[in-house]
Amino acid sequence: MRKVIQRRLGGPEVLEVVEVDVPEPGSTEVLVEVRAAGVNPVDWKVRGGGLGHFPFSVGWDVSGVVRAIGAGVTRFEVGDEVFGMPGFPLEAGAYAEFVTGPSRQFALKPSGLSHVQAAGLSLAGLIAWQALVSTAGLEAGRRVLIPAGAGGVGHLAVQIAKSRGAYVIATASTAKHDFVRGLGADEVIDYRSVDVGSRVDGVDVLLATVAGRLENLAGTLTPGGWVVALNGADAEAVQQLSKTGLRAGFMLVEPDRADLETLAALARSGGLTVHVDKVFPLEQAAEAHRFGETGRSTGKIVLVP
């Protein structure tokens, strides 16, 4: 099978496609034929930072078809269409034609989503759900601020927050305002022309999707409000904010079957749509990373074998 690997750290040019053996599923694992693999910011961060060994492969978001099951697996049968985020933060190797992973880190793909859409749902959707709901306990009537509301995580977070009955304030460039409003945002602010920190107040939950902006946005929060940071670069700022009476924490996404099934149910009900900006063939993984690193994508970037 074909798989994208890298033998050194560096820019997108270090990604190369090689031929390797199709892996065998171990006990409690499934072998999934990859129909699409999502591309996320963590991919290029790991590409430049490594996993502690060479060669290695990035990529965790996957949607595909179960082709074999390991001993002890009862959740799926061969032929089931599934999506998931196996192995994170350890190596999963989703940029490939086949991938293996624990069966309980996958869920049945919603019939209303294509494999390309489902491949963009797992990691970003789990981040949004676990940050807003599991961590901040988002409830109806709460005010939520979501920077980069048109991004991979942001566009799903807007929809999840609305599904919980929240009042959603999002930031985006002017050209993307209609898109973000279409997701359900109650207010959309152009962060390029407006100081969001002085314009917005009364926020109960701040989803810090963009690193380095916590100090400017923290003043939007009500006393006792929640700051959920998604970037390790904000760890020190989170510690300082937690001393001011705010509830603040850095969250790292985790594979979770129940959360995946919740996202799938929300998608089936029409409450969650995955917008895919660009689709690249597996051989163009480097080009997909270059595009992603511009920060200009609307929604998700996906690779297809």
Q: What is the pLDDT of residues 12-38, one digit of tens each?
A: 999 999 999 999 999 999 999 999 999
d(CA 72, CA 267): 29
Low-confidence ranges of the chain (pLDDT < 70): none
Q: pLDDT value at position 34? A: 98
**Structure confidence at residue 79 (pLDDT):** 98
Structure tokens that stand for 218 in this block: 């923290």
Query: What is the Cα–Cα distance from 207 to 250, expressed in whole angstroms?
Result: 10
Distances from the Cα of 38 to the Cαs of 80, 116, 117, 122, in angstroms?
19, 8, 9, 8
CA distance linking residue 186 with residue 173, whole number of Å: 16
Biggest CA–CA distance in the chain, Å, is 57
> CA 8, CA 31: separation in Å to the nearest integer?
27
Quick check: bond before 55 cis, omega within 30? yes
Per-residue pLDDT reduced to its tens digit, 197-215: 999 999 999 999 988 888 8
Domains of the chain from N-terminus onward: 2-121+274-304 (3.90.180.10), 125-250 (3.40.50.720)
